[in-house]
Structure 1
Amino acid sequence: MIRGGLIRSGRKALAGLAMVFVVLAGVLPAPGQSTTTTLSFQLPGGNRTALMVDHAQGRRAPVVLVLHDENGSPEQIRRYFTWDEVGGREKLILIYPQGVRGAWNDGRPTDGRRFNPLARVDDVAFIRTLLSELETRGRLDRRRVYVVGVGGGGHMVHRLLCEAGDLFAAGAPLLASLSIIWARSCPASAVPVVMVAGTEDRITPFGGRGSGSDPDSGMVSVPDTLTFYRGRNGCTGTGERALPDQDSTDNSRITILEGTGCRHAARLYRVDGGGHHTPTRAERRMRPVVGAMLGQPNHDMETDEEIWAFFADKRRP
């Protein structure tokens, strides 16, 4: 690999943050190919990194941030999803940030998280800094920045939509219902939202999770999460339709529920009988114990394709 670098200093990224230094390592693309780059940011809490897969060949382009699950990594979530296929076709810039110790500070109190990241980690500032740097370099289409996350990354998407909604044209929190703390107070302006959730998900229960010692630590149910976003996004009604059952052997079906008459779209792909998986037409092989814990996968759609179809016409004002 040919390594090239650029070290930037001498400007403030955001108020309250130390100077940002960005180190890029990658290879120059041939026509029609992508470049894979490691971004490194020195912030007050320590060094933060993100993997950038550039299918735009140096041009200004829409950006999709993809947030990994608990105990995850950029490389793992890149393999799990099929965003490289979507990005190559649509000429996107894909960003896979790394959470501290494989987790995100999604704003819930400690006993509301299955895994406890460092409480003082400011992941909202990290994402703001990352996007600010790309904007400074003239790489992103500022009106077309999107964020998607699964599991713990999905909970972080909820926080970003509530604290940094000005950054995004749309968001997709997957396998993650809304925290009580955000259902009570979500100060940012409304943003289009698309969700995916399994009714038999034992990690993120479809019916929500009660509070522990802290009353703010619970999660509302998935239907109540959709109701919240429908109200927030100015929807006047709701519609429902079933997707075709593409795989009769997976013991699950997908129903789309979405707001109607909305100022900003709100949609849920409800996977009836589905576990802690995003639907995919490709078979993902897992160890038997892990597969049993995550529950039944669904093969009736490719989640990333559906999300991009939702994202594609969304623009920030």
Structure 2
Amino acid sequence: MRGKSLGFAGLAFAAAWAPAANASCTLGAPGTTQRIAIGATGRAMLLRVPAHASARTPLVFVLHGSTGDGAAILAQSKLEATADRHGFLLAAPDGGIVAGKGYVWNIPGVPTVTGKVPGPGDADDVAWLGATIDWLAAQGCVDRRRVYATGLSGGGRMSSWLGCVAADRFAAIAPVVGLRAGNPSAADSRFPDPATCAPSKPMPVIAFAGDKDTTNPIEGGGAGYWQYPMRTAEARWADLNGCRRPLAVRTLESGVVERGHTDCRGAADVIARITPGAGHVWTADNEAMWAFFARHRR
């Protein structure tokens, strides 16, 4: 079913999975990563199950980079240990479009790394991830109010897209070398097209990048899907969230430079952490990411 769009109708089957009042999570043994079929969607994903998973358990999606897969991003991010330590369910899906030996994500209107713009026959990843949330909640395994998304590169762009179009499903996002705030404008690609990112509520954002990234350079340029600078994306999210005060730029003990915007509607701060000398790699501090996620509920 990778080539077929679920569409919004794909969410309807969740109603058939309404759990009993005393439902408990039985996805698998705690502290294990297993490939689990998601209801009747025809797709599966890798899930890291924490101890004592229940309807109060947070859910974090970690999305792979372009031409990667769920197993690759688990290895790159090392988030499994973080999930075990803090007790959240970690989901590592594969994108819906086959590309080379891996997959890419469907961000409508934006070319993938293959140069092809996804079409109507390609899998609707937003709808499928929404259906996954519904199915996991119906199994008594997650708290719908505490669902988060992170991802690397193309997965970072996809987690940004989820913030734009699925703010009713996600409580916060944490793109890694992939922060966007909508598609590059057709009129001037140095800026995002505001029509392509209009979230239904403020979206807390913490983003990570390296200042030597030549694939998704923080100063902008690069491939057609990138173009405008990371600072422009940060400023756009600050506008969308109604932030009223910039944070003073500071250098953390690790050498990472932190900047951002605060005093935002719904406490939806926008934070960026830039690692000097780092390239196109997983630059996220997983503990800082989780601490940010843990402060936010939908």
TM tier, smaller: 0.7 to 0.9
Q: Which residue of 1 aligns with 2:21?
A: none
Q: Which residue of 1 aligns with 2:198?
A: 187
Kept after mapping to 1: 8 A contact 2:33/2:48 = yes
Q: Deviations over 1:122-168 (max 9, x none)?
A: 11011011001011112111211111011000111111111111111
Structure having the higher Rg: 1
Match of 2:211 among 175, 193, 199: 199
Kept after mapping to 2: 8 A contact 1:177/1:208 = no
Q: For 1:158 and 1:259, locate their aligned partners in 2 and report how far apart those are by CA, in whole Å.
A: 17
Kept after mapping to 2: 8 A contact 1:177/1:220 = no
Q: Which residue of 2 aligns with 1:304?
A: 286
1:154 aligns to 2:162 (yes or no): no
Kept after mapping to 1: 8 A contact 2:10/2:127 = no
Q: Which residue of 1 aligns with 2:242?
A: 234
Q: For 1:164 and 1:209, locate their aligned partners in 2 and report how far apart those are by CA, in whole Å.
A: 27
Q: Would the alpha carbon gap of residues 36 and 57 (structure 1) be closer, same or farther in structure 2, given more than 3 Å must change?
A: farther
| Structure 2 letter corresponding to 1:225 | A
Q: Would the alpha carbon gap of residues 28 and 192 (structure 1) be closer, same or farther in structure 2, given more than 3 Å must change?
A: closer
1:258 aligns to 2:253 (yes or no): no
> What stretches of structure 1 of length at least 5 have no aligned partner?
1-11, 246-252, 280-301
> What stretches of structure 2 of length at least 5 have no aligned partner?
1-5, 18-25, 186-191
Q: For 1:148 and 1:258, locate their aligned partners in 2 and report how far apart those are by CA, in whole Å.
A: 18
The structural deviation recorded for 1:278 is 2.4
Superposition pairs for residues 81-100 of structure 1, below 5 Å?
81-100=77-96
Superposition pairs for residues 80-119 of structure 1, below 5 Å?
80-100=76-96, 101=98, 102-110=103-111, 113-115=112-114, 116=116, 118-119=118-119
Does the residue aligned with 2:144 lie in a helix, a strand or coil? Answer: strand
Q: For 2:48 and 2:216, locate their aligned partners in 1 and report how far apart those are by CA, in whole Å.
A: 29
Q: TM-score by structure 2 length? A: 0.79
Q: For 1:68 and 1:117, locate their aligned partners in 2 and report how far apart those are by CA, in whole Å.
A: 19
Q: Would the alpha carbon gap of residues 260 and 18 (structure 1) be closer, same or farther in structure 2, given more than 3 Å must change?
A: closer
Number of matched pairs = 261
Does the residue aligned with 1:274 lie in a helix, a strand or coil? Answer: coil
Q: For 2:148 and 2:167, locate their aligned partners in 1 and report how far apart those are by CA, in whole Å.
A: 10
Kept after mapping to 2: 8 A contact 1:66/1:97 = yes
Q: TM-score by structure 1 length? A: 0.74
- What percentage of residue pairs aligned between the two structures are identical? 30
| Structure 2 letter corresponding to 1:307 | M
Q: For 1:59 and 1:17, locate their aligned partners in 2 and report how far apart those are by CA, in whole Å.
A: 22
| Structure 2 letter corresponding to 1:170 | A
Kept after mapping to 2: 8 A contact 1:14/1:129 = no
| Structure 1 letter corresponding to 2:9 | A
The structural deviation recorded for 1:210 is 6.8
| Structure 1 letter corresponding to 2:113 | R
Which stretch shows the higher mean deviation, 305-314 or 181-190?
Answer: 181-190
Q: For 2:80 and 2:193, locate their aligned partners in 1 and report how far apart those are by CA, in whole Å.
A: 33
Does the residue aligned with 2:43 lie in a helix, a strand or coil? Answer: strand
Match of 2:131 among 101, 125, 129: 129
Q: For 1:272 and 1:49, locate their aligned partners in 2 and report how far apart those are by CA, in whole Å.
A: 37
1:56 aligns to 2:18 (yes or no): no
| Structure 2 letter corresponding to 1:174 | V
Q: Which residue of 1 aligns with 2:233?
A: 225
| RMSD between aligned residues | 2.7
Q: Which residue of 1 aligns with 2:20?
A: none
Q: For 1:40 and 1:96, locate their aligned partners in 2 and report how far apart those are by CA, in whole Å.
A: 12
Q: Deviations over 1:182-217 (max 9, x none)?
A: 6422122221001012222111011222786xxxx5
| Structure 2 letter corresponding to 1:203 | T
